[in-house]
Amino acid sequence: MKKNVLITGGAGFIGSHVVRLFVNSYPDYHIYNLDVLTYAGNLENLKDVEDKPNYTFIKADICDHEKMDSIFSDYNIDGVIHLAAESHVDRSIKDPFSFAKTNVLGTLSLLQAAKTYWNGDFENKLFYHVSTDEVYGTLGESGFFTESTAYDPHSPYSASKASSDHFVRAFLDTYELPVVISNCSNNYGSYQFPEKLIPLFINNICSNKPLPVYGKGENVRDWLFVNDHARAIDVIFHKGKIGETYNIGGFNEWRNIDLIKVIIKTVDKLLGRPQGASEKLITFVTDRAGHDYRYAIDSSKLKNELGWEPSLQFEEGIEKTVRWYLDNKDWVDNVTSGNYQKY
Ligand code: NAD
Ligand code: DAU
């Protein structure tokens, strides 16, 4: 079936993987990638699909409601996969306002545009909101976040994402807008901006720069290969039940310090350095304010109801990821120098 699908934030890390997957897998769909190109948006991430006939890039800000209204009618949008956001916790601690603006007001302006344009005719329409496990807050040593875990965000980033999730559900309850939400754990893989732990540390190891480990490095995250997240989004977009929430996770928990040692080992091996040589770069620094201790996702609903499972073992995923950053030094250099903004 033909569809016009609006993917927001498609020039970012996860968005670029979702755009690539949809453009290549669904030649009958037209994929509109809407992105304002903040520091995190990079059209180089999509070089391989930019000339495909079923792909169009639209430079626009989701907070511009008049523009969102016109995009829905100009392109006759049937489905939305909404990823555009400010996404980095440390930036949200320094500048919470831009997180409230993009993540809350931007989501609201898209919801309003969908409601206005679809105007009660919701057949074959879907507004899919991509969210995070951070809305659930933090876990102790045991237990998992499920879809019924109460929201308890601690950072301005997670508070803004929690608020956007509430607006999405409010549009279902109040206007019957067909919505679905997923909450995913930490992603890793190619094209991630090197401010996040894994690409930052790979890059710093290569350049022999210090590796700033927050606190004692004891916080735990549940890591998922980004292509598996994109596959989950595909499954939920096509088979998810309207009004439902699906948790997405890797069943793959790592203490930061243990993960960092795996990254060091892998980079050292691939660069031909003596094993563990770069451990001397580990530098313990002041902890992140409000640092959530542990995230762990129970994604059994997604597995049991829609048949999705992570496809890749972590050891394989991390080696693939390190190799990608080593083999794509031009991409890393462009991103770190700011040249990508001229692409
Ligand atoms: P990212 O920061 O790499 O990309 C965000 C994209 O959104 C960028 O291309 C940016 O230019 C665009 N954008 C920002 N503000 C915009 C605006 N006002 N209008 C239009 N475009 C705008 O983020 P990411 O890591 O790829 O995350 C994508 C989504 O997935 C976010 O909603 C995030 O909350 C969620 N998420 C991320 C992770 C993760 O581990 N990275 C995990 C779970 C959920
Ligand atoms: O859980 C999903 C979330 O994962 C997403 O919603 C966010 O968009 C994404 O950025 C990510 O958030 P985190 O804060 O968990 O990711 P980050 O890579 O920033 O940090 C991972 C862990 O590593 C965290 O415990 C903080 C720590 N850290 C991070 C950096 C950047 C360090 O110790 N040193 C660092 O320099």
- Token pair for residue 333? 């250099």
- Is 134 catalytic? The answer is yes
Return the pLDDT at 338: 82
Does position 265 have pLDDT exceeding 90, yes or no? Answer: yes
Answer for the pair 106, 84: CB distance below 8 angstroms, yes or no: yes
Q: Specify the pairing of strand 253-255 against strand 79-82.
A: unpaired
**219 touches ligand 2 (CB under 6 Å):** yes
Q: Which of the residues 157, 246, 295, 340 is marked catalytic?
A: 157
**Catalytic status, residue 151:** no
Polymer length of the chain: 343
Tell me the pLDDT tens digit for each residue of 268-306. Answer: 999 999 998 999 999 999 999 999 999 999 999 999 999
217: left (phi over 0), alpha (psi -120 to 50) or beta: left
**How large is the C-alpha radius of gyration of the chain?**
20
**Catalytic status, residue 268:** no
Task: Classify the C-alpha dihedral 110-113-119-125 as positive or negative.
Answer: negative
Q: What is the mean pLDDT of the chain?
A: 97
What's the rounded Cα separation, in Å, for the pair 250 and 223?
6
pLDDT of residue 145: 98
The three-point CA angle 179-10-185 to 5° equals 65
Nearest to 1 by CA among 119, 126, 104: 126
- At 23, phi and psi to the nearest 5? -60, -45
Nearest ligand 1 atom to alpha carbon 10? 9
The burial class, CB within 10 Å (0-12 / 13-18 / 19+), for 24 is: middle
CA distances from 46 to 8, 34, 194, 338 (A): 14, 13, 17, 17
Q: Is the model's pLDDT at 206 over the cut of 90?
A: yes
Residue 215 · residue 288 · CB < 8 Å: yes
The predicted model scores a pTM of: 0.98
Region 152-157: mean pLDDT is 98
Give, rounded to a whole angstrom, the gap between the first and last alpha carbons of the chain.
34
Tens-digit pLDDT profile for residues 159-180: 999 999 999 999 999 999 999 9
β 211-214/179-184 pair status: unpaired
Q: Give the residue-averaged pLDDT of 76-89.
A: 98
Residue 340: predicted pLDDT: 84
238-249 pLDDT, tens digit per residue, is 999 999 999 999
pLDDT, position 104: 98
Q: 140 φ, ψ to 5°? A: -85, -150
Mean pLDDT for the stretch of residues 36-65 = 98
CA-to-CA distance for 83 and 62, rounded, in angstroms?
A: 11
What is the distance in A from the centroid of ligand 1 to the CA of 85?
4
> Is pLDDT of 1 > 80?
no
Mean pLDDT score, 332-337? 92
Between CA 34 and CA 37, with CA 35 as vertex, the angle to 5 degrees is: 160
Q: String of b and e for 249-277 (b: at least 16 CB within 10 Å)?
A: bbbbbbebeebbbebbbbbbebeeeeeee
Question: From the candidates 78, 86, 134, 292, which is the catalytic residue?
Answer: 134
Ligand 2 centre from 153 Cα, in Å? 15
Counting ligands in written order, the one closest to the CA of 282 is 2
pLDDT at 318 over 90: yes
Per-residue confidence (pLDDT) for residue 303, from 0 to 100? 98
C-alpha to C-alpha distances, 134 to 98, 104, 160, 166, 291, nearest whole angstrom: 18, 15, 10, 14, 11
Residue 342 pLDDT > 90: no
Beta bridge partners of 188: 225
Task: Centre a 10 Å sphere on the Cβ of residue 21 and count the other Cβ atoms it contains.
Answer: 17
